[in-house]
Structure 1
Amino acid sequence: MKVFSVVGITESGKTTTIENIIKELRSRNYSVGSVKEIHFEKFAIDTVGSNTYRHREAGSQLVTARGYFETDILFQEKLSMDEILKFYNHDFVILEGVTDSNVPKIITAHNEKEILERLDDLVFAISGKISNSLDEFEGLPVINTIDNVEKIVDLIEEKVFDKLPDFPEDCCGECGYSCRQLGALILKGKARREDCVLAQSRVKLQIGGKDIEMVPFVQRVLYNAVLGVVKELKGYEEGKEITVRIL
């Protein structure tokens, strides 16, 4: 699953940019999901006095509202972006206004100052209202998605990669970089997604059918523990795949 974020100040063209990108990706037969970050402390779908609100106030820890045309699952906490993305299995997921995730980014802006305030090594393109007056900024393409959405989606197909983990550098770093440094190098063509050691893992863990990412140290502990037990069992064959299921 390939994930990228569109970030920028209010009214800079974020939502319009995302709308146009979604339409073009869908026209190319990709499945697309999206996540909208809402920067408003009082935001809540669950309004005071509603039935779902009464469920929550009574102590329900997870509330689901099912209507004729949509289903809303209401968590009583702010989930991390990695937790949210576990609900998606699309070709592309677009994040609007999300700045705390290790993914490539497009900046939308009114002016150069707004670009510089958000510019980092994970930015691969610029769009929004400033694209009416600029074609390039510090080596990055500035693309108007109203007039030239095909160009920015071509760039997305070229640049955006399957989502990397976002472990702290002291938890992993076995590729020689932090997760964010590796992402920046992939965007610059100086590394490959396959350079992440998790892509070469010999251990796969799933809980409830969902993959659980593990740093190499944890993988080795689990690998050695399982192998140490299984080696003592009749039927063990060296080099054969071992599957353990706990129900």
Structure 2
Amino acid sequence: MKVVVVSGYKDSGKTAVVEGLVEEFVDRGYRVGTVKHISQEDFTLDQPGSDTWRHMNAGSEVVIALSSNETAVLGEGEKDLDDLLRSLMDLDFVILEGFKNIENMARIVVASDEKEAEELGDEFTIGFVGNDKNGENVFELNDVSAIADLVERKSVMYVGGLDCGSCGYSSCREFVLSSVEGKAQTDECEALKGPVYLSIDGKRIPLKPFVKDLISNTITGIVSSLKDTGGNKIEIKVENHER
């Protein structure tokens, strides 16, 4: 999964850029997800007095609204972005809207003028949209295909903050910056590539390739000996009650 952040001030057109990228990537055959950051205090998708609001107000930690058209999962508090992105790993691209201060992800800045571009741009920025700045990778709002080409080429797989050094860089930050600059391949994070995922108490644990192969072969062998275990994705949760 590769991620890109689309940042800009209110009414800059960043939602239109996200919308255009989603449509373009879907047309190209990719599976896409989005995450919208809402800075408004006390914002809630649920309406006070509704049935689901009453469930939450009564103390339910998670409320799921299920209809024939959609499913909504409601929960109190802000969910950790790292956990949220890890839950979307089956997608090809995730586009984040807002998140002006986040790092370790390629960024598209949507700005109305050069001053805004300078305020919002950082070392992770791969392109600008809608401002009067001259230079490479500066686009108009309707240049959707060209913006998508840039994101497809320069966005980086989600690495979080493992800082394991498996890629040869001292930190995930250095790896992402090198990828954005075109020096490293955008999918060179060996610790996260492949079919095996290890998390302990919510923290992603990097794995060497031979460890991944060992775990994958062992688990697959055990599961294949059981009845009714056909499928492509195996999930196992182990709780250590001795600690």
Q: Could you state the TM-score of these two structures normalised by the residue count of structure 2?
A: 0.76
Partner AA of 1:62 in structure 2: V
Measure how far apart 1:17 and its partner are: 1.3
CA distances 1:155-214 after superposition (whole Å, capped 9, x unpaired) = 1121123212223x5xx345332212210101111122454351478x94457xxx9730
CA distance in 1, matches of 2:34, 2:237: 33
CA distance in 2, matches of 1:194, 1:27: 22
Give the secondary structure class of the aligned counterpart of 2:139.
Answer: coil
Give the secondary structure class of the aligned counterpart of 1:242.
Answer: helix
Partner AA of 1:150 in structure 2: S
CA distance in 2, matches of 1:194, 1:83: 20
- Out of 205, 208, 213, the residue aligned to residue 214 of structure 1 is 205
Verify the 8 A CA contact 1:205 1:212 in the aligned structure 2. no
Q: Could you state the TM-score of these two structures normalised by the residue count of structure 1?
A: 0.75
Matching of residue 9 in structure 1 with residue 9 in structure 2: yes
Matches within 5 A, 1:125-164: 125-128=127-130, 130=131, 133-136=132-135, 140-146=136-142, 148-164=143-159
Q: Which residue of 2 aligns with 1:242?
A: 218
CA distance in 1, matches of 2:14, 2:204: 31
Moved over 4 A (4+): 244-247
| RMSD across aligned positions (CA) | 2.9
Matching of residue 187 in structure 1 with residue 188 in structure 2: no
Measure how far apart 1:242 and its partner are: 3.1
CA distance in 2, matches of 1:70, 1:42: 24
Measure how far apart 1:47 and its partner are: 2.3
Partner AA of 2:141 in structure 1: T
**Pair 1:49–1:41, CA change in 2 (3 A):** same
Matching of residue 98 in structure 1 with residue 93 in structure 2: no
Q: Which residue of 2 aligns with 1:59?
A: 59
Unaligned runs of 5+ in 1: 228-239
Q: Which residue of 1 aligns with 2:230?
A: none
CA distance in 2, matches of 1:241, 1:27: 36
Matches within 5 A, 1:74-93: 74-88=74-88, 89-93=90-94
**Pair 1:134–1:34, CA change in 2 (3 A):** same
**Pair 1:50–1:4, CA change in 2 (3 A):** same
**Pair 1:150–1:246, CA change in 2 (3 A):** closer
Partner AA of 1:117 in structure 2: E
Matches within 5 A, 1:30-69: 30-69=30-69
Larger Rg: 1 or 2? 1
- Out of 117, 120, 123, the residue aligned to residue 118 of structure 1 is 120
Measure how far apart 1:106 and its partner are: 0.1
CA distance in 2, matches of 1:103, 1:52: 35
Unaligned runs of 5+ in 2: 223-235, 239-243
CA distance in 2, matches of 1:200, 1:53: 40
Verify the 8 A CA contact 1:101 1:166 in the aligned structure 2. no
Count of residues in correspondence between the two structures? 214
CA distance in 2, matches of 1:164, 1:198: 9
Q: Which residue of 2 aligns with 1:109?
A: 111
Of all paired residues, the percent bearing the same amino acid is 32
